[in-house]
Structure 1
Amino acid sequence: MVIINKKSGVIVCIAITVIAGVAATAPRPPVMKYTNLKVLPKSISSKELMGIMVDDFQDGLGVTCNFCHANAKDGHGLDFASDAKPEKEVARNMMRMTLGLNKKYFKIKHPVIGSGSLDVTCITCHKGHAFPGGD
């Protein structure tokens, strides 16, 4: 059996305390600030936003990001804040419509896009296709 003397025990305790303190005060990743959100909440987290974009839009409509989002002017990636593509405003109107349907007909007091409590979502009509009624 190893016996730790008093001095070593104190050093170990101090080291653990310092390590725990550093870990607790480590800088957190910056909160993303999204621009040009008109229906979704401006304080939405990146996890929530990606969930809506992937689970609701990509799965519900069978489309990828570039269906609604315009290419960046520098040719690298997409310009998510741009309103250059009319499909983006159509998507906003569809979000407003589904929120309204859920509130009026299904009595959901505060419907939120991406919430599991919604009865009417993109997939209700689109069924995995870009345009409702598609095969």
Structure 2
Amino acid sequence: MKINRKLKVIVVLAAVVSITAGATINKPGPRLYTNLKVLPKNITSKELQGIMADDFEDGLGVSCGFCHAANKDGHGLDFASDAKPEKEIARAMMRMTLGINKKYLKLKHPKIGDATLVVSCTTCHKGQAFPDGTEPK
């Protein structure tokens, strides 16, 4: 009988410890990206990937390295870097399309990546890095 009571106490304590430990584990918060100047600072990873893949990769026919500089160690890309001028050009183009959609097409709060945008990268680029098909010199 004493063993049964001790076993019950141990099981209850173990359950309480497990529940408490599970409740206090820090869940990672939303990833905060650095150096965002046009896109929202609190953008989710899913939203950012959608914009980069759908708007830029598909709309311009380019990959990430077109605008993003390589890491100094040569492995991967430094997404926060402004080393490549194409990145600032992309920002200017985002501002331009947002402005056109707001001013001329009367969208109240246009957002890059929003399906309601009428004018987007694809409008002019049509899957090419340069709208007229020729690279600048």
Task: Please give the range of the TM-score, normalised by the shorter of the 2 chains.
Answer: 0.7 to 0.9
Please name the residue that 2:52 is paired with.
53
Question: Who is 1:91 aligned against?
Answer: 90
C-alpha displacement of 1:27 = 4.6
* Correspondence for 1:126: 125
Identity %: 68
Q: Distance in 2 between matches of 1:91 and 1:99?
A: 12
Q: How many residues get paired? A: 124
CA distance in 2, matches of 1:84, 1:37: 14
Deviations 1:47-66 (A, max 9, x none): 00000000000000000000
Q: Report the 3-state secondary structure (helix = DSSP H, G, I; strand = E; otherwise coil) of the residue aligned with 1:118.
A: coil
Query: 2:93 is paired with a residue of what secondary structure?
Result: helix
Aligned-partner residue type, residue 69 of structure 1:
H
Identify the residue that residue 99 of structure 2 maps to in structure 1: 100
Calculate the TM-score normalised by the size of structure 2: 0.79
Question: Which AA in structure 2 matches 1:75?
Answer: G
Counterpart residue type for residue 58 of structure 1: E
Runs of 4+ that moved beyond 6 A = none
Quick one: which amino acid aligns to residue 73 of structure 1?
K
Cα drift, residue 80 of structure 1: 0.2
Q: What is the alpha-carbon distance in structure 1 between the residues aligned to residue 60 and residue 100 of structure 2?
A: 19
Counterpart of 1:130, as a letter, is: A
- Structure 2: any 5+ residue segments left out of the alignment? 1-11
Say what the alpha-carbon RMSD is for the aligned residues: 2.6
5+ residue gaps, structure 1: 1-13
1:68 maps to 67
1:110 is matched with which residue? Answer: 109
Q: Which amino acid aligns with 1:109?
A: K
The residue aligned with 1:11 is: none
Q: Deviations over 1:32-54 (max 9, x none)?
A: 11110000000000000000000
